Structure 1
Amino acid sequence: MYPRPNPLKARLAADEHILGLFVQTPSPDAVEIAAAAGFHYAIIDLEHGSFGLTEALAMIRAAEASGICPLVRVPDQSPAMLRRVVEAGAMGVYVPDVRTADQARAAIAALRFKAGHNGGTRGACPTARAARPRNAGWHDFVRWSNDELMVCLLVESAQGLRNLDEILGVPGIDTIVLGRFDLWHELGLEGDRYHEEIDRIFEDFASRARAAGVRYATRLSSLEHAAAREQWQAAMARGERVFTLGSDRQLLLRAFEAATAPMAAGPGVAAAQKLALRVP
């Protein structure tokens, strides 16, 4: 199959978990490091990242070279933007702020070439980068694209939640994602963004997705903490398989904070911690 099966779809078909993160800095190195750390996919974030399509293409190439699956979060639902990122080589697309079933259908159609009565509307170009024009036939590429590209829809509004059952009924969704931060902001909730009301909304969201037979993504903080490992194990027991561990910015900040924490605590504490490390 051209060029190879989507590794994320293969893992989900085998009922294996997949781990990913958002990459919001213009850094192919970050994509390569994520692959080395054991992530299965990188969501190259054109919506909230500080870069454009040229930089995203370099990050897609880094993903291809390092064995991590490149997904792209687009800044809008326009067919032109969806087409550009998949022609650049994205193996899946995160579609933002889906509020209605019609929007879901339109996005899925824009990512599918017309084949029979599948409703695809994707424009065709046999010399697009993703088509590997010198290495494979066009019809092989069309079949591969229709079968292997992942469609991930983000529901990030109260309107989207009201229409969730209709959205879930649209054929062709590989993963659906709850935009917790956007909802927290829209609902005007005070305090931590992991507010108990957002947790309640997520549980309802997850229950409805399971009933519809649609995979959904679960947000974890970091698997390095015992509480997160317990959360992950409980989620796996519920049948959840898609996990996002935040963004490169968040993970880098945590690493930097961990490195400076002993000094921030004061010289006496730092010296005691240093001494403790020497004690067998």
Structure 2
Amino acid sequence: MPAPTNPFKAALREGKFQLGLWVALGSAYAAEIAAGSGYDWLLIDGEHGPNDMPLIGAQLGALRGSASHPIVRPPMGEAWLLKQLLDLGAQTFLIPMVETAEQAATLVRAVRYPPRGIRGVGAGLGRASDFNRIPDYLATADEEICLIVQVESRAGLEALDDIAAVEGVDGVFIGPSDLAADMGYLGQPSASAVQEAIRDAFLRIHRHGKARGIMTVAVDQAHEYRAMGADFMAIGTDVNCLVRSIDGLRRTFLGLPVGADQKGGGY
């Protein structure tokens, strides 16, 4: 019996658009609720969300068997972190702040077993191998791992062609908020210069045959990114949805304008 099939990776290979949502509350219960909403994927955020290894593991468990594929974003692309997340059962990763092809190649090796990589052989202790119940896990795991690198700086854009050309990188995700900040447009990811940089990045990524990803909390902007060619995209966060719903309910009852005083916080 082989390692579980990665439906997200398979969909990207087939050119099927994948719609997602950020899960940043650090709650397995919230992740399970989100999984019932029909998104193709959910991003468990360990970079900005209050998530540690046990919390991420609990959320992976809550999403196990659901129609929403879990993607994990660790706070950084360190091999020791990825080793633990792999054994917890994560198959798809979004790694922040990748700026060179060398970084990307190092990440590819971190998520693969020797001789192709440096992943430690210990999945028999974890969910990845169904606690050692999958006899062919070691021989088949590599092919089901999906690696997405996040480019979100001017340095990353300068090296984008080299990054996208790295074998083993399945997709490139453009981080609009950090990119905007690095370009001098802090808090303004919709600035025309930033949008033009994203459009150009999408074209370059596509030329290398890699999937293009992005996120936004503005539906109009999401449609624009889709028109630019986004292959996978998140259109909100659980935090954002919760705030809007709770605030909106109160404002609706009081007869106040819904959405007033709600400002962006980085997406």
Report if the CA contact (8 A) 1:153-1:175 is conserved: yes
Contact 1:69-1:91 within 8 A present in 2 as well? no
Match of residue 195, structure 1, among 191, 205, 208: 191
Residue of structure 1 equivalent to 2:86: 86
Change (3 A) 1:232 1:158: closer
> Which residue is 1:75 aligned to?
75
Q: Does 1:131 align with 2:129?
A: yes
Matches within 5 A, 1:6-85: 6-85=6-85
Instruction: Read off the aligned partner of 1:123 and give its amino acid letter.
Output: G
Q: By how many angstroms is 1:230 displaced?
A: 4.7
Unpaired runs of at least 5, structure 1: 271-280
Q: Is the 8 A contact 2:215 2:222 kept in 1?
A: no
Structure-to-structure mapping, 1:96-245, within 5 angstroms: 96-115=96-115, 119-129=116-126, 130-137=128-135, 140-189=136-185, 192-221=188-217, 227=220, 230-231=223-224, 234-235=227-228, 238=229, 240-245=230-235
Unaligned runs of 5+ in 2: 259-267
Q: Residue 5 of structure 1 aligns to which amino acid in structure 2?
A: T
**What is the Cα deviation at residue 231 of structure 1?**
3.5
Aligned to 2:265: none
Match of 1:253 in 2: 243
Instruction: Using the TM superposition, give the Cα deviation of residue 161 of structure 1 relative to its aligned residue in structure 2, in angstroms.
Output: 0.9
Once residues 190 and 126 of structure 1 are traced to their aligned partners in structure 2, the CA distance between those partners, rounded to angstroms, is: 42
| Compared CA separation, residues 104 and 132, structure 1 to 2 (3 A) | same
- Give the superposed CA RMSD: 2.2
Higher helix share: 1
1:70-92 deviation digits (Å, cap 9, x = unpaired): 21101112110111111111121
Deviations 1:155-197 (A, max 9, x none): 1211111111111110011121111111222222266332111
Amino acid in structure 2 at the alignment position of 1:252: L
Amino acid at match of 1:131: S
Superposition deviation, residue 68 in structure 1: 2.1
CA contact (8 A) 2:94 2:149 kept: yes
One-letter amino acid of the counterpart of residue 136, structure 1: I
Alpha-carbon shift at residue 256 of structure 1 (Å): 2.3
The letter for the 2-side match of 1:122 is R
Q: Structure 2 vs 1, CA of residues 234 and 96 (structure 1 numbering), >3 Å: closer, same or farther?
A: closer
Letter in 2 for 1:178: I
Give the SS at the match of 1:37: coil
**1:61 alignment partner, SS class:** helix
Offset of 1:60 from its aligned partner? 0.4
Between Structure 1 and Structure 2, whose CA radius of gyration is higher? 1
SS in 1 for 2:120: coil
Q: How many residues align?
A: 257
CA-to-aligned-CA distance 1:111-152 (integer Å, 9 cap, x gap): 01124xxx3111111423112244122xx2123321011101
Q: Within 2, Cα distance between the matches of 1:101 and 1:233?
A: 26
Aligned counterpart, 1:278: none
AA matched with 1:166: D
Query: Structure 1-normalised TM-score?
Result: 0.84
Q: 1:193 corresponds to which letter in structure 2?
A: P
Q: Out of 124-133 and 164-173, give the one that drifted further.
A: 124-133
* Contact preservation (8 Å) 2:125, 2:132: no
2:263 is matched with none
% identical equivalent positions: 27
Query: Following the alignment from structure 2 to structure 1, what is the Cα–Cα distance between the partners of residues 216 and 44?
Result: 18
| Structure-2 change in CA distance of 1:183 and 1:262 (3 Å) | same
SS of 1:127's partner is helix
Q: Which amino acid aligns with 1:210?
A: H
